[in-house]
Amino acid sequence: MAQKGVDLDQESFRCSICLDLLKDPVTIPCGHSYCMKCIQGFWDKEEKIHNCPQCRKTFIPTPVLMKNTMLADLVDQLKKTGLQAAPADHCYAGPEDVSCDVCSGRKLKAIQSCLFCLASYCEKHIQPHLDEAAFKKHKLVEPSKNLQENICSIHDEVMKMFCRTDQKCICYLCSVDEHRGHDTVSAAAERTERQRDLEESQQQIQQRIQDREKEVKLLQQEVEAINHSADQTVKDSEKIFTQMIHLIQKTSCDVKQQIRSQQQTEVSGVKDLQEELEQEITELKRRDAELKQLSLTEDHSQFLLNYVSLPPLSESTHSSSINVRPLTYFEEVTAAVSELRDKLQELLREEWTNISATVTNVDVLLPEPKTRADFLKYSCQITLDPNTAHRQLLLSENRKVKMMKKPQPYSDHPDRFTNYFQVLSRESLTGRCYWEVEWRGDEVFLAVAYKKIMKCLFSVISLLSIILN
């Protein structure tokens, strides 16, 4: 507690300008004391009227400064007990801070600004505004570097008026001079009205924030749903394609097994025939050897006797010749499998178009366009395909078409319309698309059609008919 008392004494003998212990203390007529150099320097900055930095009391004429010897002796006694540490570095004002307008030397950070005094004060110098009745009506705000902007550049007065005609802040002299006859009100009244507008704007902004946050949440849910659906579809598609691959592999195994089975049957039949032929060859060779032996017999009677007793030669059970075909036994199977492959390729090619269109036409949650600017986000440039144009349609720049009485010399093409006055675009349309058309004449027909409309004219998704009055 004793230490606290010493601290209070030391604070009482500090100069409120330099915040250090008084040096050559002087007391001015209002009763406040300062270092002689500090108060002289403070008054030197003022051109005409000199006042107290704390209570703002003015002095006319300027008081004569005399050293307060009694106060100087008390300060010397305090110095012997030891001076408290100077303010910490973080209390001093930096380049980005608002500095105290009263501090001399190294200035401290301002903690508040006064709109009446148009000055900023540190914790020490703000005390008179908090304690003394003379400052009760002063308006204290957060420290501001822009206080001088409240001063009229013409009359050097505080701008407490607002000109609604010119939409600018003015001082009272401006209201009776340059802005005479204008719609002027006090700045406080204008602030009250603008505050209401500001609060309404804030409410609108907050409502829009809530709406946008809800939409963001919905879009996030949509993203999660898209990701989940895509992952599940990829999984299902892989399963289906795996089943298709297994089916093809099983068919391949069945074909292979059937070929091998038929191969075994055919080879077995050929080998049976081969074995019969080889037995016949053996028998014929044995008979040929007997005949050769008989032909060497020199006894005629014995020759005739043995010849007559020879059994007749048995007839062959096989044709005299076997037709050997070229190696084309199973080529028809190869051709059938190749045909299946070609059909499968064509089917995959056709179905891939449908699958791709289905993927790109996924209906994602998007805001519905309402204005032309919204629609233009989905605009697409359409060019006309001359290979599909009816011969009585004249194309120019591949973007313009005109009905003609005389047929045009177009070359034959399988995609060309022959029965209907129509022409298709070159571009395929997927997802959300928008285009604009200019026309002249009685009527025009626009349609979104399947790619195979040439084969089936009535497979039209939607038809827009515009009839002019």
Q: Give the Cα separation of 60 and 46 in Å (integer).
A: 13
| 57 and 121 both lie in a single domain | no
- 110, 98 contact by CB (below 8 A): yes
What is the count of structural domains for the chain? 3
| 117 and 168 both lie in a single domain | yes
| 75 and 116 both lie in a single domain | no
The string of pLDDT tens digits covering residues 9-46 is 566 788 888 877 888 899 998 888 999 888 888 888 76
CATH number at residue 38: 3.30.40.10
CATH number at residue 397: 2.60.120.920
* Domain that residue 176 falls in: 112-188
29 in any annotated domain: yes
CA distances to 79, 422, 456, 458 from 452, in Å: 105, 14, 6, 10
The pLDDT of residue 366 is above 70? no
Which pLDDT score, from 0 to 100, does residue 2 have?
A: 40
Which pLDDT score, from 0 to 100, does residue 82 have?
A: 53
444 in any annotated domain: no
Give helix 187-295 / helix 300-308 axis angle, nearest 10°: 140
Q: How confident is the model at residue 231 (pLDDT cuts 50, 70, 90)?
A: very high
Q: What is the mean pLDDT of the chain?
A: 82
- Picking from 168, 188, 208, the residue at the C-terminal end of a domain is 188
The string of pLDDT tens digits covering residues 325-364 is 655 678 888 888 898 888 888 888 878 877 777 776 666 6
Determine if the pTM surpasses 0.85. Answer: no
43 in any annotated domain: yes
Q: Give the Cα separation of 211 and 219 in Å (integer).
A: 12
